[in-house]
Amino acid sequence: MSSNDLVESTVPAGTEPTSPVRGQPATVRRLDRAALVAVGLVTAGLAYRLFLILAGIPPTNSDESTMAMAAAHIVEGRHYPAFFYGDHYMGTLEAYLAAPLFALFGPSIVVLRLPLLALYAVFCHLMYALTRRLYGRWFAVLVVGLLALGSDPVVRSEIFAGGGYPEIKPAAVGLLLMAVWLGTGDDRHTVRRILGFAGWGLVAGLALWSDVLIAPYVAAAGLVLVLGCRRELLGWPGVLLVLCLLVGTAPAIAHYLQPGVAEASLTKMLTLSGGEDASIWSRIHGGVLLGVPLGTGLCAGSQCTGWPLVLGAAYPLLLLLAGCLAGAALRRTTGAERIRQAGRLALVVGGALTLISYAQSDAAGIYPTTSMRYLCPLLICLPAVLWPAWSAAARLLDDRRTGRSTATSPAHPGGLRLAAGVAGGSLLAVVTLATVGATVAIGDLAPESRQALRTERELTVRLAELGVTRFYSEYWTCNWISFATRERMVCATLGDDLRPGNDRYRPYRDLVTAAPDPAYVLPLGSPLDRAFAGRLQALGVTADVSEVAGYRIYRPHAPVDVPLR
């Protein structure tokens, strides 16, 4: 997994590999037991996620189909988008990673998700290396084991190509690992250190382009780098880091330099942050009590009730405890150990800023189950949160092995160690069991995935039979069908008020608007379906109507002037 996982062993002379000196044992470098267990856990996690991808779990939607269309357009040379179509944020790194595979195997959602498996593997490898470096090897195995599991929200943030989330976690962990490595000065080789500074800048730039959600962790890792390498940063290594940072963010910079884009981006951000105000209690409930267990994989799907909410309430306290321990150690240590403690504190700071920024947003209070994806970076600070519990449980086990007194009196030091050890072990057991249970529950998505595939097949077949190639529908249908049919069928979106909806790829609207007789493909019984039926009745326009796979297909006999202007 990393150079720290390698231990030396000896083999007798005359066996392979042979020693260059006769009679001397040869030195072999191999993975130690902890690293081997970690490799097995990561392999199991990869196999689990590959199975989900092949099974179509989680089901795709128009957001992911938009990213898939961007990848297809890149292969065709039609467009080279810097950001998600229709937005000025969320970089399209996932589309560029999938484009070579699209060229080789053809466009599909399965192929789109395959590069994300590699990102997941990198994330686990870096988390193991960082946790081992900052805390310990067997604790790193526990962390990797928890990351091998995955509830629906966690898996969506890892193998669902909806923009930004799968790539920012490995990037943030890599930045902190590089900062600790450079700061501790374990390797003074000039070329490697120069490459380390350059790599830090490039990865930071790419991460910020992909999703500014990762900014707290980039900033925290940057502070660790400054703490350990401030003198070097004042010279050429710092210049190189800044240049590579600009290279990483170049797609975003070029995008924002286009006329009017910066103003449009600011307007969109202000729109996203506005709207209905959520109460303080709803933000705390949705952002912490509900958001933390959902975002960290302790609850299944979007359902979270009962005792997992207690873990959400305990999370800020665990972060505070971890921060106090790391801060105290940082003040009393020097040299490489001080950088290690700074790395621990950086994990806490990144997690705290993520949690605070989310909990104070209206989305946490109004749409907690759909916006919990903003908490996916909390998995990065998993080691910091669980370390106090692990260390307390480990001390208790060590006391049992050595026969040290653990008197049951709360006032006795041994009694405090016993209470802390039992509490720590219980917390680790509860977290593990909750994560396992939420992972098992992801099987409940299998029927939904099969139904989504049937709906896609039945709807596209029926549209082809009717000769429909241009139509209007709601957002969650449009780009999904357009990509599934390789743009043979093109859709423009409608809002429930029959006005133009969120057309991420504007050329589709132009094609549908130019069509002489577009169809209307609306979810059966939806507000949009009822509004359109009322419009037809008000105008006295008749239409051929077909129903298939939960959709009603309208083909009006006369213009209906929809969408409304």
Give the pairing of strands 470-473 and 26-31. Answer: unpaired
Mean pLDDT across 308-319: 90
Q: Does the residue 275 lie in any domain?
A: no
Query: Count of CB atoms within 10 A of residue 17's CB?
Result: 9
367 vs 240, residue with greater confidence: 240
Residues 294 and 432 occupy one common structural domain: yes
Residues 205 and 293 occupy one common structural domain: no
What's the pLDDT band for 266 if we cut at 50, 70, 90? low
What is the domain count for the chain?
4
Residues 117 and 49 occupy one common structural domain: yes
pLDDT of residue 164: 78
pLDDT of residue 302: 72
Query: Among 29-43, 267-281, 290-304, 446-460, whose mean pLDDT is lowest?
Result: 267-281
Q: Does the residue 12 lie in any domain?
A: no
Residues 515 and 381 occupy one common structural domain: no
Mean pLDDT across 157-180: 94
pLDDT of residue 198: 97
pLDDT of residue 510: 95
Closest CA to 157 of 127, 122, 119, 204: 119
187 vs 394, residue with greater confidence: 394
Residues 63 and 134 occupy one common structural domain: yes
Q: Does the residue 156 lie in any domain?
A: yes
Residues 293 and 179 occupy one common structural domain: no
pLDDT of residue 416: 84
pLDDT of residue 7: 39
pLDDT of residue 11: 36
Residues 422 and 294 occupy one common structural domain: yes
542 vs 415, residue with greater confidence: 542
Give the pairing of strands 490-493 and 470-473. Answer: parallel
What's the pLDDT band for 31 if we cut at 50, 70, 90? confident
Query: Count of CB atoms within 10 A of residue 169's CB?
Result: 27
Q: Does the residue 226 lie in any domain?
A: yes
Query: Among 200-214, 245-259, 395-409, 493-507, whose mean pLDDT is lowest?
Result: 395-409
pLDDT of residue 22: 41
- Exposure of 528 by Cβ count < 10 A (0-12 exposed, 13-18 middle, 19+ buried)? buried
Q: pTM value?
A: 0.90
Residue 228's domain comprises 165-257
Q: Which residues pair with 522 in a beta bridge?
A: 552
Q: Does the residue 15 lie in any domain?
A: no
Residues 320 and 435 occupy one common structural domain: yes
Query: Among 119-128, 267-276, 439-448, whose mean pLDDT is lowest?
Result: 267-276
pLDDT of residue 361: 86
pLDDT of residue 27: 44
Task: Give 316-370 pLDDT, tens digit per residue.
Answer: 999 999 999 999 999 999 999 999 999 999 999 999 999 999 998 888 888 888 8
Asked if 358 and 290 touch (Cβ cutoff 8 Å), the reply is no
Report DSSP state, residue 91: B
Amino acid at 563: P
pLDDT of residue 256: 87
Residues 370 and 480 occupy one common structural domain: no
Among the candidates 412, 444, 476, a domain finishes at 444
Asked if 161 and 90 touch (Cβ cutoff 8 Å), the reply is no
Residues 317 and 406 occupy one common structural domain: yes
Among the candidates 163, 196, 220, a domain finishes at 163
Asked if 189 and 396 touch (Cβ cutoff 8 Å), the reply is no
Q: Does the residue 6 lie in any domain?
A: no
What's the pLDDT band for 257 if we cut at 50, 70, 90? confident
Among the candidates 163, 195, 225, a domain finishes at 163
What's the pLDDT band for 263 if we cut at 50, 70, 90? low
Give the SS3 label for residue 318.
helix
Mean pLDDT across 259-263: 68
Q: Does the residue 22 lie in any domain?
A: no
Length of the chain: 565
Query: Among 225-239, 312-326, 342-356, 434-448, whose mean pLDDT is lowest?
Result: 434-448
Q: Does the residue 525 lie in any domain?
A: yes
What's the pLDDT band for 29 if we cut at 50, 70, 90? low
Rounded to whole angstroms, the Cα distance separating 467 from 461 reads: 10
Helical residues (DSSP H) of 86-164, grouped into ranges: 93-105, 109-134, 137-148, 152-159
pLDDT of residue 366: 86
| pLDDT(8) > 70 | no
Residues 173 and 252 occupy one common structural domain: yes
Residues 180 and 158 occupy one common structural domain: no
What does pLDDT average to over the chain?
88
Peptide bond into 251 cis (omega under 30): no
Give the SS3 label for residue 194.
helix
Query: Among 43-47, 297-301, 408-412, whose mean pLDDT is lowest?
Result: 408-412
